[in-house]
């Protein structure tokens, strides 16, 4: 992370591109169904296991896995547009 921070300071255009990508990701996340968004954020951003997400959300672990997979597929499609 520190290497990336140093790189961004020396290359302002990289920081702008990173911010643009972050904005696009947030917009794409907002288009997902809530259950898919929750599974994606909890797994990919917060580092929860599928079992932990299932426990927190009250869903079956297999359902959480499916929601996460569908979120990834939808985000890939949305970010290609």
Phi, psi (deg, nearest 5) at residue 63: -70, -40
Can you tell me which residue has the tokens 């968004």? 37
CA dist 38 and 71 (Å) reads 9
Q: Are 45 and 29 in contact (CB under 8 A)?
A: no
Q: What's the pLDDT at 23? A: 85
CA dist 68 and 9 (Å) reads 34
Structural domain harbouring 60:
2-80
CA dist 3 and 1 (Å) reads 5
Can you tell me which residue has the tokens 């597929």? 73
Report the domain count for the chain. 1
pTM score over 0.85: no
pLDDT in tens, 7-66: 445 555 555 555 667 788 899 999 999 999 999 999 998 999 999 999 999 999 999 999
Q: What's the pLDDT at 1? A: 41
CATH at 24: 1.10.10.10
């Amino acid at each position: 992370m520190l290497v990336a921070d140093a790189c961004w300071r020396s290359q302002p255009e990289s920081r702008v591109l990173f911010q643009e990508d972050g904005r696009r990701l947030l917009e794409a996340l907002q288009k997902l169904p809530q259950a898919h968004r929750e599974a994606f954020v909890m797994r990919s951003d917060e580092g929860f296991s599928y079992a932990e997400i299932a426990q927190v959300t009250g869903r079956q672990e297999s359902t959480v896995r499916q929601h996460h997979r569908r979120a990834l597929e939808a985000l890939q499609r949305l970010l290609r547009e």
